[in-house]
Amino acid sequence: MGARPPRRGKQDAVRTGGPIDEESVYAYSKFLFHHSIAAMTTVQITLPDDLAKTAQAAGLLESEVIQGMLRQHLQSQALDDLRQVWRAMPSQQLSPEIEAEITDAVRQCRAEMQAEPGAG
């Protein structure tokens, strides 16, 4: 049996129609990053010699460490994007267009979850 997403995550909120807060989005994105199965890609980068030596000595050029740094940065960017959306939203009422977009996004997320093997 695979790992289950956090109870307060986006998936449960979408299924139940409950609120989706920043903490829930973060918990769910963290779950996805750590439990996704993906093909592996080899990446080659060019660094100045002194930076490469220092990073190597610090253990920062290990695949797992780089994966962790990339995941952390991507999560941070996603949260920053979410905060920008929240700041841009009206404080009292959503327009019909925004409500329709949210409804469509929830429906799409539900359809994707139902299409996943073992979803239920």
In a domain, 116, yes or no: no
What domain range includes position 79? 62-90
In a domain, 68, yes or no: yes
- pLDDT the model gives residue 49: 96
Interhelix angle for 22-35 vs 63-88, to 10°? 150
Report how far residue 114's alpha carbon sits from residue 3's, in angstroms, rounded to the nearest whole number: 17
In a domain, 114, yes or no: no
- Choose between 66 and 41: higher pLDDT: 66
Report how far residue 29's alpha carbon sits from residue 20's, in angstroms, rounded to the nearest whole number: 12
In a domain, 85, yes or no: yes
Are 22 and 82 in contact by the 8 Å Cβ rule? The answer is yes
In a domain, 9, yes or no: no
Number of domains in the chain: 1
Mean pLDDT along residues 28-45: 73
Residue 31 burial (CB < 10 Å; 0-12/13-18/19+)? Answer: middle
In a domain, 53, yes or no: no
Q: Give residue-wise pLDDT tens across range 63-103.
A: 999 989 998 998 888 888 888 887 777 666 677 888 888 88
- Choose between 77 and 7: higher pLDDT: 77
In a domain, 86, yes or no: yes
> DSSP label at 89?
S
